[in-house]
Structure 1
């Protein structure tokens, strides 16, 4: 990867890692479902007027928007509103990698590789350790909601596997047409008309800046640059950079918000990262060792 493209990858990782701190700031002034409605309204309008719709049936666009956009962020925003620390959220959300493996085996009949199973078990142990200390630092409900967000992301990954080659930016923009009205309906139901009106009438500058960041930096810029990198390099060379998102998320949350995790949560977080590394790089190591054993000596 060229130095210029490496810099682009790091810009994306920083943008996505800081995303969790920005969500926390946004939630200080707006209720979670209203924040979701406004975020995706900004992504979709007016961008959808200038970006051509991806060549996909509407049912797949609806499925994508309902899972990766609506489902993932409804659970994530609600989890963070219920006390999920931003840095820890960035880490636990990576459980999507293992939910994706499970859903692929269940719905696509893909075979689970030994390295993936090992990585899953290691990460599951890490999540269990995080949960053991959850009552002291993170409410268990918030942890479960974040896992639900990861599961919705994973379901969206399974759906996108049916697309083949598709313009990622167009997919994100047109998929963003789906969530605003459901988010608004959820806000009306869960948060109430009075809170919606009060939040909008007394919206703070910090909330407006958070919305702008979530819509234009984390979403439009982030996915735009990520799409550019995927068009230039194999996915296997680009995807591992996403492992740095929790690193940025945890460090920025500690630096900017003073987030402090307990010893078990740090240990559990380390195990989750090890599990993710095994899942990403383990198959190559396993196949390399197998090839080495199969090579005849001379």
Structure 2
């Protein structure tokens, strides 16, 4: 639900600063918040070299996700961009089976399919899905890369989450992504001629950045990993389908966008799928 709010806030933020720069600011401020909480609540840790390597991998996965997500969105139409929402849970499910030997029960698979159908109904009501076949190979590859990178971030983080905590894993992975995103930002600003809007110091932009940093990044990424403390990656992956429903609802409330009957029908179907996955996963 917190990620669904990004749909509205990003429309304001991207009118002021370019996308990778916004991602860097978002993650840098989130790191400050997360590190402050870790220092206040968790003991000092000494990680092994292999664990630091895994943290670095998670940080790179974050950076790749954010960069390719924005690139793919810029190169494709809205319908094709919706592939990011659909493919991410599927990649998480597959990587969980391949890398973590997680079991996919019949009931869980049924819940995934139900949630996927509900999400497809929501997206078909918001976008022209007939344009999915429009050719832009670079954009499609970028969106698939973003989905796969976030799936890797989810699956690779499980062992660290369960050995230490969701808070520490999210914090150190996010912190490591900051210098990577900074390098990408410098390249972006150089290519764009430092194209930053004049409203960067406006109250509306700063409030939007605060939401992106504190709620959609620090809190949301922590909660995402917190789920891994209680359930396998395939179970929590399905909740990613809630993002377009929340985003569409907030878009209607704040931006005056219309919601058709497919939105409500799809939202109901998706909710049923989430219930099946989260409650009935033993069979």
TM-score, normalisation: structure 2: 0.69
Counterpart selection for 1:195 from 192, 197, 201? 192
| Paired position in structure 2 for 1:8 | none
Q: Does 2:11 align with 1:24?
A: yes
Is 1:72–1:149's contact at 8 Å kept on the other side of the alignment?
A: yes
Distance 1:260 1:137 in 2: 21
Distance 2:201 2:251 in 1: 21
Is 1:84–1:143's contact at 8 Å kept on the other side of the alignment?
A: no
Q: Judging changes above 3 Å, is the alpha-carbon distance between structure 1 residues 24 and 104 closer, same or farther for their aligned structure 2 residues?
A: same
| Paired position in structure 2 for 1:60 | 54
* Structure 1 gap ranges (5+): 1-12, 288-298
| Paired position in structure 2 for 1:134 | 129
Q: Judging changes above 3 Å, is the alpha-carbon distance between structure 1 residues 274 and 96 closer, same or farther for their aligned structure 2 residues?
A: farther
* Structure 2 gap ranges (5+): none
| Paired position in structure 2 for 1:155 | 152
Structure of higher CA gyration radius? 1
Counterpart selection for 2:21 from 34, 58, 62? 34
| Paired position in structure 1 for 2:64 | 71
How far apart are residue 59 of structure 1 and its match? 0.8
Q: How many residues align?
A: 265
Q: Judging changes above 3 Å, is the alpha-carbon distance between structure 1 residues 192 and 246 closer, same or farther for their aligned structure 2 residues?
A: closer
Is 1:18–1:248's contact at 8 Å kept on the other side of the alignment?
A: yes
Q: Judging changes above 3 Å, is the alpha-carbon distance between structure 1 residues 261 and 179 closer, same or farther for their aligned structure 2 residues?
A: farther
Is 1:133–1:262's contact at 8 Å kept on the other side of the alignment?
A: no
| Paired position in structure 1 for 2:212 | 214
| Paired position in structure 1 for 2:165 | 167
Q: After superposition, what is the alpha-carbon deviation per residue over 1:37-68, rounded to whole angstroms, capped at 9, x for unaligned?
A: 1111212247537734665421111122222x
- For residues 1-298 of structure 1, the aligned pairs below 5 Å read 13=1, 15-45=2-32, 48=35, 51-52=38-39, 56=47, 57-67=51-61, 69-81=62-74, 93=85, 95-122=87-114, 130=123, 133-135=128-130, 145-146=142-143, 148-163=145-160, 164-189=162-187, 191-193=188-190, 195=192, 197-199=194-196, 203=200, 205=202, 206-222=204-220, 226=223, 245-260=243-258, 274-284=272-282, 287=283
Instruction: Please tell me the root mean square deviation across aligned C-alpha atoms, in Å.
Output: 4.4
Is 1:34–1:196's contact at 8 Å kept on the other side of the alignment?
A: no
How far apart are residue 106 of structure 1 and its match? 1.8
Distance 1:217 1:29 in 2: 20
